[in-house]
A and B are shown apart, each in its own frame.
Chain A
Amino acid sequence: MDDVEGAVRKFIAENFVMADELAKLANDASFLETGIIDSTGVLTLLTFIEDTYGITVDDAEMIPENLDSIERISAFVRRKKAA
């Protein structure tokens, strides 16, 4: 739970990008703008978040504000866990 950024970064490395691309990926870089995650990728990411952190992401929460960068995902997971 302490290193959500690290866990998300590791998951993205394993599923979406080559190692050299990951090194350049900033924590606040938009997945949509960089094109590294497509619609199936979003679903993959949702499954990872729900399974890893034991949270349920509601339909209304599936928006870029919550899921479009490593930083946003980390903040969203922390908010959900704290709720």
Chain B
Amino acid sequence: MKPTLSRDALRIDPEAVANTIAKRLEETVRRVLHRKGAVVGISGGIDSAVTTALCARALGPECVQGLFTPERDSSEETLRLSRAVADSQGVSAILEDITPILEAARCYERRDEFFKKAIPEYGPGWKAKIVLPSVVEGDQYRIFSIVAFSPDGQTIKKRLPLEAYLGVVASTNFKQRTRKMLEYYHADRLHFCVAGTPNRLEYDQGFFVKGGDGLADFKPIAHLYKTQVYELAAYLGIPEEVRKRPPTTDTYSMPQGQDEFYFSLPYAQMDLCLYAKNHGYSPAEVAKVLELEPVQIERVYRDIDGKRRTTRYLHQKALLLDAVPELVLDVPSFA
């Protein structure tokens, strides 16, 4: 019989989990990937911080190359918190401001052209982000809107037409792909591999850019719920300021929480919903713990299934149209 669901369901023994991951990480990097170290893109967020700490624990800090890749729209805190993470783990890091690359690729210009299709007044000095309606408050389809803030203090919210939505996403994806290009540049230069930083919520729900932050040689925390990543962070000595920072996309010029951009609920509630769904708990059992209505959890469950379905493409490797049986790839013994 399943235990009664509670918020404690996600509790872990951080020391045991850190030791298991470190052992597997070393085996993966050294014996399977045949590399001596790893490059980690450090964003100042909790996931890259824990990934950095686990790599340092497994491979030694001298075999971890941190990379800071802020750009024009990054929060002012990003670089300072990223440095705090690297310092706390004794990892050296390189600063690569990616703004000039993004300008050369016309990332900002292209994005703003698509913003203008929704809001013709949008121009220099404006700030904007894209948001989704809450899934728990109704059955409405989750269609992105743009929220724009003018230099004179006016806020405009409008539904994004199809062409503008696709264009904004395509333009901003330059950021994640540029970061990954630089991570692989440094990995190739050092004969290292690249660590991916998604937690389970992000990995399961497809919250990543294909060929951007979704691209990596190994993903050491992809099986951990975000709540567990926070627990591990405290054990691994991640600075408190980083542990207290609300999850953010750090992608748009206006501050944007991950829950308004992608997930149905704040991460702690979303984590429990995902855990409960994965372990066969009913919406009514989850609703009791989260003090929500069962119908709201049913919507979250449907949203989880919907995202799994619609983001399969992101997880797909390049598909072959006929077999090449001679190519056999190594996989870790525990995978």
Contacts and interface: CB of A to CB of B under 8 A. Distances in A.
Nearest to B165: A43
SS class, residues of chain B in contact with chain A:
loop
A64 B306 CA distance: 14
Contacts of A82: none
Interface size class of B (residues with CB under 8 A): 10 to 19
Interface in B285-328: 302, 306, 309-310
Nearest to A35: B309
B133 interface: yes
A32 B306 contact: yes
A26 B141 CA distance: 22
Interface string A30-50: 001001001110111011000
B204 to A, nearest CB: 16
Interface string B136-149: 00111111100000
B141 A47 contact: no
A47 B143 contact: no
A23 interface: no
Contact of B310 (A39, A63, A67): A39
B234 interface: no
B133 A44 contact: no
Given A38-B309, A43-B143, A64-B139, 17 more contacts: A32-B306, A38-B306, A38-B310, A39-B141, A39-B142, A39-B143, A42-B143, A43-B160, A44-B162, A46-B162, A59-B140, A59-B159, A62-B141, A63-B138, A63-B140, A65-B139, A67-B141
Interface of A: 32, 35, 38-40, 42-44, 46-47, 59-60, 62-65, 67
